[in-house]
Amino acid sequence: MGDHPTRGNDIEIVGTEVVDETITTEINDSDGKNYLSDEIQEEVSSNLLHLKTKWNSPGVLKRNKTSLSTPHCNLKTKLSQWSAQKTECGALQKEYLREEHEQKLRHNEERHHKYLQECNLRMQHMQEKHELELQLLKKSLELNKM
């Protein structure tokens, strides 16, 4: 990138991102052209090198490293959390399905038991009815013989 004459345009920092410990910064002038004068490029490179050196030095507080690499760390953390939650959800789902299956079995057993009781009651009533009819037929037969 060569030297550019000073213009009256405003300079806007469009975005800075951290990807695998590499920092990139995009700077656009108000015309939308991406440019950096050699002087600015050197200053930005120097600052980024200083920042990267500071970031990677062993004495830096973990807080600083975390804050600098937040997007990257958050992804790893979120992936780890998601994986743990997925495992937990799978276990909970299995437990829920097992309980649901047991509940359906109990419900079916209760329905079956109730149905058997109703059938037994109907059979008992039919048997009593048939016994009464049989007794009536016997009496009727006795009366006819007389």
Instruction: State pLDDT tens for residues 95-112.
Output: 999 999 999 999 999 999
> Is position 6 within any domain?
no
Taking residues 3-15, report their average pLDDT: 48
Q: How far apart are CA 72 and CA 92, in angstroms?
A: 30
Q: How many domains are contained in the chain?
A: 2
Q: What is the pLDDT of residue 78?
A: 77
Domain boundary among 22, 45, 68: 68
- 73 in the same domain as 63: no
Containing structural domain, residue 16: 11-68
- 42 in the same domain as 16: yes
Mean pLDDT, the chain, as a whole number? 72
pLDDT in tens, 77-93: 778 888 888 888 888 99
> Is position 2 within any domain?
no
> Is position 5 within any domain?
no
pTM for the whole thing? 0.36
What is the per-residue DSSP string for 19-34? ETTEEEEEEEETTS-B
